[in-house]
Structure 1
Amino acid sequence: MGYRVAVVGATGNVGREMLAILAEREFPMDEVAAVASSRSIGMELEVGDSGKMVKCKSLEHFDFTGWDIALFAAGSGPTKEYAPKAAAAGCVVIDNSSLYRMDPDVPLIVPEVNPDAIDGYKKRNIIANPNCSTAQLVVALKPLHDFAKIKRVIVSTYQSVSGAGKEGMDELFEQSRAIFVGDRVEPRKFTKQIAFNVIPHIDEFMDDGSTKEEWKMMVETKKILDPKIKMNATCVRVPVFVGHSEAVNIEFENEITAKQAQDILREAPGIMLVDKREDGGYVTPTEAAGDSATYISRVREDPTVENGITLWCVSDNLRKGAALNAVQIAELLGRRHLQKG
C-alpha cells in the first residue's frame, strides 16, 4: 500500500524534477497528481522514465482531502495561499519556497543532517526544504562539525541560472546566442548580462549590504546545524545551466587535519569525495548535473587560522538543492510517521 502524492508546481523545473525523482527512487505511491496554475490544465507530464503520463490539475480547484503528501514547488505566493489549506485537509506539505523556513513551528530539514527535527512537523503539518545553496553546504559541514565543532564559515557561491527558474536558463541561452551572432544583449531576468559574465547579486539587497540569498544561507545553516556557528556568505550567479558550486572556508574549535577531513567526508552520507591533487582531480558543476551526490574536492588546510579547512563543494541544485531533498524528506516522513500497510 502506497501514498497519494501531489506535486504542486509540477510544470516548473523543480516540479518536473520531483516527478522524475519520485519514479527514479521508486517512492511507494498509489497515485500521483500533477498540480499547477490554471493555464497548465490538461498538460501531460511524464512521471520520470516510467512511461506513465499524468494530466495537470488546477491548484485553484484541487482538493487535498485524502492526499498524504504534497510537494510544493510553486513559489512563495501560491504556497502562502494553498499550503495551509492542504495542511488543514490532513495532507503533509513539504515546501520548497522560502516562506516557512524560519518559522519556529516548521522544521527545516536536510535528512542527512537533522532527521530528528522532522518530528515537529505536526505543529503546522508543514515541513520546509532549505535554500538550494544551503542544502549542499550543510551536507558537507555536518560530519566535520560532529568531529571538530565548527566556529566560523566563510562561503562564496557560484550559482547556476537554473536557480532562477526556466526564465534564467532561457536568458543565458538567448544571450549566448546573441553574442555569437553580434546581436544586442538585453538583460531581463537578471540585473546585468549573464552570458560570459558573473553577477555578485542574488535576490534583494538588505540594509546591511548583504543580499537575501546570503542572509538565507546564514540563518538556515544556523537553524539546521547549530545556532552558534558564525557565518558569512557571498552569493554569485554564474553562466552555468545546472549545478551550484561553493568555495568554503571553515574554522574549527578543535584540531582537524586535511587527511582527517577527507576520511570523514569519504564516509559521510550523501557525499562523494573526489579529491585528487592533479589536473582534473576535482568535480565541476557540469559533471554533477543529473547526479544526487554532493561532491567534495580540493580539501586542504588553511594556514591563516588555527584549525582551518578549505574545500570545494558542488551539487545539482535542482536535485539535492530542491527536488531530491524534498523526496528524501517524504521518505523520512514515511519511515517515521506515515507508515502504510
Structure 2
Amino acid sequence: MTKSYHVAVVGATGAVGTQMIQLLEKAAIEIKQVTFLSSARSAGKKLTFKGKEITVQEAKPESFDDIDIALFSAGGSVSKQLAPQAAERGAVVIDNTSAFRMAEDVPLVVPEVNEHALKAHHGIIANPNCSTIQMVAALEPIRQAFGLKRVIVSTYQAVSGSGVSAINELKEQSQAILNDEPFSPQVMPVKGDKKHYQIAFNALPQIDVFTENDYTYEEMKMINETKKIMEDDAIQVAATCVRIPVVSGHSESVYIEIDKSGVTADQIRAALKDAPGVVLQDDPANQVYPQASEAAGKKEVFVGRIRADLDQPKGFHLWIVSDNLLKGAAWNSIQIAESLIKQGII
C-alpha cells in the first residue's frame, strides 16, 4: 500500500509558495491532505489545490501537529522561529531560506548532487540559494568525470529573487523612463540597505548587503554552499553577484578549472548531455545557447557556451541559466520531498 502524506506549505501566498503549490499538484507524492500557512496578514485568503478551495491559516507551532512534510518559504525569521517547532512535532521541514543552510547538522541538498545527505537529517533540511543550486547541478557531472579545482562565477540575476516589490519596481521604473517621467528607487538593490538605485536599464553589482570582507552575503552563500554541497572544502570558489532588469531566470558566467589533463570541450559537453536535470543548449554556429527568457517556467538547468580557456589548459567557460523560482527554489524543495519518499527516509 502506498503511503500518503499530509503536506504543509508555509508562506503559501508568496511567489515561491505559489510555485510550490502548483508543483505539488503534479509531484510524485501521494498527498492525503494539504495545509496552507502564512502570516496573520495573509491568513483567511483562499487558494486552490487540485480544484478544491483551501483557506490559508496563520502559521503557529500547533499548526504542525499532524504534518508529515513542511515546505517553508516565508523568510528566515519565520523559519528560525517555527521550523524547529515543526520538527519537534514530527514534521520533516524543507526550508527554502538561509536560516539553517550552514548549520552542521542540517543537510544542504540538491538531489542531483548530494541526495545521499538526506539520510543524515534531524528534522530540518535546507534548500540552497537559488544561484548556487543551478551552478552545482551543472558542475557536478563535470566534477564526477574530471574533478573540480576552481570555480569563478559572475551572476546575472532576475529581480524576482527579491520578491514581488522588486518586480513591480522594475516595471514601474521602466515605464517611467520610457515616458520620460521622474521616479524614486525604494527597493533595489536591497530594500533594507541605506541607499536605493535604479534597476531599470541598469546592472547593480550588489545582491544582499555587504559583509566585512567586501563580498555580499549572496556571494558568500555561493562560495560556502558550493563547498558544503559538494563536500569538498578544497574547491576554490569566488563569486560576483549582479542584479539585472530581468523578471525571471538567473544567468551565470562560470569559469572552472578541472583536475584532469587533456580534456576537451566536447568531453565536457558529453558529461553534461545526459546529466539529470540538465539540458545542453550549445551550438554556437546556429546561435543556440541558454537564455533567461526561454528558461522561465521550466524546471531544468540549461548549459551552453562551453569552451576551453585559451591560456589555462585545465580551464573551461560555461553559461548556466535556470528559473530561479523553480529549480532555484520551489522545484528543488519538491525534489527533496520526492527523494525522501523514494529513499524510504520518511
TM range (shorter): over 0.9
Partner of 2:69: 69
Which moved further from structure 2: 156-165 or 250-259? Answer: 250-259
Give SS of 1:170's match. Answer: helix
Partner of 1:220: 225
Task: Sort the Cα spacing of 1:177 and 1:263 in 2 relative to 1 into closer, same or farther, 3 A.
Answer: same
Partner of 1:251: 257
TM-fit CA distance, 1:167: 1.1
Residue in structure 2 matching 1:280, options 259, 265, 287: 287
Deviations 1:210-257 (A, max 9, x none): 111000000000000122100100000000000000000000111221
Partner of 1:293: 300
Partner of 1:202: 207
Task: Sort the Cα spacing of 1:32 and 1:259 in 2 relative to 1 into closer, same or farther, 3 A.
Answer: same
Partner of 1:264: 271
Number of aligned residues: 335
C-alpha separation in 2, matches of 1:151 and 1:106: 25
C-alpha separation in 2, matches of 1:46 and 1:176: 33
Q: So what's the TM-score if we normalise by structure 2?
A: 0.94
Partner of 1:181: 179
Deviations 1:188-207 (A, max 9, x none): 11131001111000001011
Amino acid at match of 2:252: E
TM-fit CA distance, 1:51: 2.3
In the alignment, structure 1 residue 108 sits paired with structure 2 residue 113:
no
TM-fit CA distance, 1:272: 0.3
Give SS of 1:278's match. Answer: helix
C-alpha separation in 1, matches of 2:173 and 2:48: 30
Listed as ranges, the matches of 1:90-101 within 5 Å are: 90-101=90-101
Partner of 2:193: none
Partner of 1:155: 153
Conservation of the 8 A alpha-carbon contact between 2:61 and 2:86: no
C-alpha separation in 2, matches of 1:120 and 1:338: 10
Partner of 2:248: 242
Listed as ranges, the matches of 1:130-169 within 5 Å are: 130-169=128-167
Which moved further from structure 2: 248-257 or 134-143? Answer: 248-257
Conservation of the 8 A alpha-carbon contact between 1:38 and 1:60: no
TM-fit CA distance, 1:63: 2.1
Gaps spanning 5+ residues in structure 2: where?
Answer: 189-195
Q: So what's the TM-score if we normalise by structure 1?
A: 0.96
Give SS of 2:212's match. Answer: coil
Amino acid at match of 1:172: L
| RMSD of aligned alpha carbons | 1.2
Give SS of 1:112's match. Answer: helix
Amino acid at match of 2:274: E
Gaps spanning 5+ residues in structure 1: where?
Answer: none
C-alpha separation in 1, matches of 2:53 and 2:129: 29
Deviations 1:54-88 (A, max 9, x none): 21010136521111000000110111111111010
C-alpha separation in 2, matches of 1:242 and 1:178: 21
Conservation of the 8 A alpha-carbon contact between 2:119 and 2:345: no
Residue in structure 1 matching 2:317, options 292, 298, 310: 310
Amino acid at match of 2:13: T
C-alpha separation in 2, matches of 1:155 and 1:327: 26
TM-fit CA distance, 1:170: 1.0
Give SS of 1:4's match. Answer: strand
Percent of residue pairs bearing the same amino acid type: 47
Deviations 1:6-44 (A, max 9, x none): 000011100000001111335321111110011112211
Amino acid at match of 1:264: A
Task: Sort the Cα spacing of 1:264 and 1:199 in 2 relative to 1 into closer, same or farther, 3 A.
Answer: same
C-alpha separation in 1, matches of 2:39 and 2:119: 31
C-alpha separation in 2, matches of 1:73 and 1:35: 10
Deviations 1:164-195 (A, max 9, x none): 01111111111111112222121111131001
Partner of 1:170: 168
Give SS of 1:296's match. Answer: strand
Amino acid at match of 1:67: I
Conservation of the 8 A alpha-carbon contact between 2:61 and 2:82: no
